[in-house]
Structure 1
């Protein structure tokens, strides 16, 4: 997994909890000597260990933590890829174009990094379906990112996110609908 994600995870833990929580988390995961660099790629097992121990420490499930972290990631991801975004896009447009914009660029720039494959089908002007496929089994992170994108586009109160998750999280179908404002 790309070092940027680990750097953002560190910042997430430090802002939601504190620095000592991050230090304890790294030690519990056996990564106390590891400093993550945004230019490198690290084993996915590091993320699994960190999130697993964070779940134990917080009492939240790993799935809940992945979702919360996914939401937290969005402003930074949007900033990093702002040159690929179209000003007229809405939440659904952004989701529809993620695979052919951001993920394509990540694959071109970092051959060793493999973002999940997103198969997005636009069902209507107000609905789409995302099929997330990744051996990393972090479908909950994708669900959180979808929710974060709705917040980014100031549509959180109008976007309904319905994950239909497989038991292992490797293949997740996420239905996203725009509904009338609450």
Structure 2
């Protein structure tokens, strides 16, 4: 997983809790003293360990934490990839272009970068369907990013999430509809 996600996770923990919580989380995850460089790629297992330990420490289920992290990531992701975003794009357009624009750039930056492949299709003028399929099993993070995009663009979104097709979060079907 891309180091920028780990760096943002660290900042999220520090802003929601404090620095000592981050240090305890690293220790509990077996990653004591780990520093995550935003330009490097790290094993997915590191993220699983951190999220799992955070869930244990807070009592908040891991999928809920993933969703909250996804929401938190959006302003920084928009800053990092803002040059690729067309001024007229809003939530639905961002979703439609994520794979071909942002994920393409992420893959070009480092050969080990492997963001999930998203299949997004417009089913109506005001509605898209996102199919998240990834062995990472972090569909809740994708859901949080969708919610974060809606907040970023200050849109009143209704996000319906159909049950995952697998219990492990590997396949998530997300229907996003723009109301009025």
Once residues 114 and 130 of structure 1 are traced to their aligned partners in structure 2, the CA distance between those partners, rounded to angstroms, is 18
2:144 counterpart residue number = 144
Q: Deviation digits for residues 47-98 of structure 1, max 9, x if unmatched?
A: 0000000001111000000000000000000000001000011110111110
Counterpart check, 1:161 vs 2:159: yes
TM-score (norm 2): 0.97
Counterpart check, 1:177 vs 2:177: yes
2:58 counterpart residue number = 58
TM-score (norm 1): 0.96
> Which blocks of at least 5 consecutive residues in structure 2 are unaligned?
none
Which portions of structure 1, spanning 4 or more consecutive aligned residues, are displaced by more than 6 angstroms?
A: none
1:104 counterpart residue number = 104
Once residues 58 and 33 of structure 1 are traced to their aligned partners in structure 2, the CA distance between those partners, rounded to angstroms, is 21
Pairwise CA RMSD of aligned residues? 0.7
Alignment of 1:113-128 (within 5 A): 113-128=113-128
Alignment of 1:33-52 (within 5 A): 33-52=33-52
Once residues 46 and 36 of structure 2 are traced to their aligned partners in structure 1, the CA distance between those partners, rounded to angstroms, is 10
Q: More displaced, 166-175 or 20-29?
A: 166-175
Aligned-residue offset at 1:33: 2.5
Aligned-residue offset at 1:111: 1.2
Q: Deviation digits for residues 23-54 of structure 1, max 9, x if unmatched?
A: 00000001003111111111000000000000
1:132 counterpart residue number = 132
1:88 counterpart residue number = 88
> Which blocks of at least 5 consecutive residues in structure 1 are unaligned?
none
Q: More displaced, 165-174 or 127-136?
A: 165-174
Aligned residues: 178
Once residues 110 and 159 of structure 1 are traced to their aligned partners in structure 2, the CA distance between those partners, rounded to angstroms, is 33
